[in-house]
Structure 1
Amino acid sequence: MKNTITWFEINVSNLKQAMQFYNHVLQIEMKFLDLDVAESMAFFPDDGVNGALVEEEGYVAPEHSGVMLYFDGSSGIDPYLKRVEEAGGSVVVHRTIIADEIGCWAAFEDIDGNVLAFYEPTK
């Protein structure tokens, strides 16, 4: 069965310390990858549902959120975004390329104000 959820991010204030914590707790080896983007990232092992730690300078976890949830958009993000708007939601970030070898993403706000996203891997 195909996973409905494909990607997640956990914001952190210190990537090195967070990597050490998750490597220890989960008994994994996270991979740091320089994607030439504003944030530093460390990736969880690519084994089913994937995710990363994202370092954000001065990050303070909000009281009521923290994890960004990405839904599977492998069949193409644009039809999903159209349906979001048809159902009363709004597009927060239109289809955006992360990197050619990684794919693209888009974010939306649902009717309750929750911000979620879709991930479309490179084919």
Structure 2
Amino acid sequence: MENNMVGWFEIPVDNMDRAKRFYEAVFEIKLSVHDFGGTLMGWFPFNETKPGATGTLIKQESYIPSQKGTLVYFNSIDVKNELSRVIPAGGKIYQPKTQISPEHGYMAVFIDSEGNRIALHSKS
């Protein structure tokens, strides 16, 4: 296989405006929202010259926010940075910054504005 296994992810939302505000506040980014015949997608920024997958927030009737499904990890310089913005943006801390191991760094998990469980990973 020429590429890494993950090429795209979709995070279900009930309210695109609320979710867009949440993710923009937590990650200090801008999402662009697109309407594909009633399916709303909030695209995360993507730079083709950097490694890693990109994805979208998605509002469509067959997508249901959940804390029970697949866990998406967002890369971070230090997970404490994003965690500090989760509660003010309307989310909840599910697991605080926790060391995985000295070799693998740290992780944390939060619940977003829509009820999804989302993880963070950093080396420090």
Q: What range describes the TM-score normalised by the shorter chain of this pair? A: 0.3 to 0.5
Length-normalised TM-score, structure 1: 0.45
Length-normalised TM-score, structure 2: 0.45
